[in-house]
Structure formats: C-alpha cells, structure tokens
Amino acid sequence: MQAIFQFLNELKQHNNRPWFQEHKEEFLCCQSLFFNKIDQLIAAIARFDSSVSHLQAKDCCYRIYRDVRFSADKSPYKTHFAAYINPGGKKSGYSGYYLHLSTSDPDKDYPHTCFLAAGDYMCQPEVLKILREDIVAGQGDFDKIVKAASDFYLETTYALKRMPKGFSEDEPYADYLKLKNFCLIHPFNIEEALSDDFIARMAELCHQAQPFLQYINRAIEYSKE
C-alpha cells in the first residue's frame, strides 16, 4: 500500500501526460496492488452481504483518467484510487461501499484525504421521494439505523434549507427529510491504510453500515419497479 500512496503523491506533483507515460509501469503495479486489496475487501464483505459475492475488483474500481470536457481543471489524471462495491458494480445505480485513497487535501468533491463511505451520493428524485416516505412511515426506524453506524457521520453538506414539497415542517425527523444525498462517511488516515488489519477493519465498518445500505437499496429497487 505504501507504493500506492507514494505514486499518488508524485502524480499530484506531476499531473501531466509525459510524466505519467514515463511512470506507466509504476502505475500498473499500483493498480494491480489496489485491485488485489479490493478483491480481498469484496471477499470479506461477501461473508455478511452476499449481494456482492459475484463481483471482482474490475467491476468496482474507477479509471484514473479524468473526464476534462466540462471541467476548468484540465489535469488529465485523478490523484486518488477509488472503488465502489455494490450489488451490480460501480455503474449499477445501487447504493454501495465506496473506498477512497489519496494524498491530496480535501475539497468540495472529496471531504477527506482517505475515507470509507456507504450510501448513495447522488440520489435520483424518485428514490428520494420513496426514502422520505419510508422515513415518515417508519417513525424512528431510520434514525436507529443511522445511530447504530456509530463509526460514521451522516453527510449533510447538500441538504435542503426548507422541507421538501409534500412534507410538514413539524415532522419529527425533518433533518433526514431534507437530505439530498444519503451517505455515511468514515474518514481515516494514511497510517491506518498501511496497517496489516486495514482490510479487516474496512470490512467491519462495511458490516456496520450494511443496514443503512439495505434501507436505501430497498428504495432504489422500488423505484425501478
């Protein structure tokens, strides 16, 4: 894992095609190492969440190449390695476990240098409607699920200022109803990522977040119907 962080740190300082091409073999070695770690994590998660048991790292890991067509930042490469483990793979539309490794400072897109997230960061309107209705009908069920994931915090950066249309201002769980993204986040540092028990620890955290994911994926499944 040390090699991954060393490569990302150098890429951050030399984010251009000539440097990357010169260090392509180094990248491929780091990519292979990351894929291996994600395969280990998938296997560990599959012990309690069979919905991901058929996945491989290639189904979950993102390309390092940035889409710069609509971005003011024309840097060609991402300065992080990331994987999104969910029932259908990273493009399925289902909620999942997201692992992010970097050496870059946090920004508006990535709130921590390294973190594990669980949930759906870009909920579709039809999914939001179902989730909000479920939260009201559940009378505290969702609140218990969030609080049980005690090693995570609930991401609220993009929450609405006002209650969404169709819901009363005096709903007991109004803060949840204002969410636009249903996402739990657990930050960690590079030293933790380098520890021998890193994958086991990430799997434990994913297990803790599983009820939260099941709640969201149920709404996503309903929306597909």
In which element (H, E) is residue 177 found?
A: helix 174-177
- Per domain, the residue ranges of the chain are 2-224
pLDDT score at 108: 79
Residue 155: pLDDT over 90: yes
In which element (H, E) is residue 98 found?
A: strand 96-102
> What integer is the mean pLDDT of 188-204?
97
CA dist 115 and 123 (Å) reads 20
Beta strands in the chain (DSSP E): 80-85, 96-102, 115-120, 153-154, 182-187
Look at 3-17, 76-90, 185-199 and tell me which has the smallest mean pLDDT.
76-90
CB 127 within 8 A of CB 120: yes
> What integer is the mean pLDDT of 27-35?
97
Q: What is the mean pLDDT of the chain?
A: 93
Residue 90: pLDDT over 80: no
Residue 49: pLDDT over 90: yes
Q: What is the DSSP letter of 48?
A: T
Residue 106: pLDDT over 90: no
pLDDT score at 107: 84
pLDDT score at 25: 97
pTM, full prediction: 0.94
> What integer is the mean pLDDT of 40-53?
96
> What integer is the mean pLDDT of 133-145?
93
pLDDT score at 46: 97
> What integer is the mean pLDDT of 114-132?
93
% of the chain with per-residue pLDDT over 90: 80
Residue 38 CB neighbour total at 10 angstroms = 24
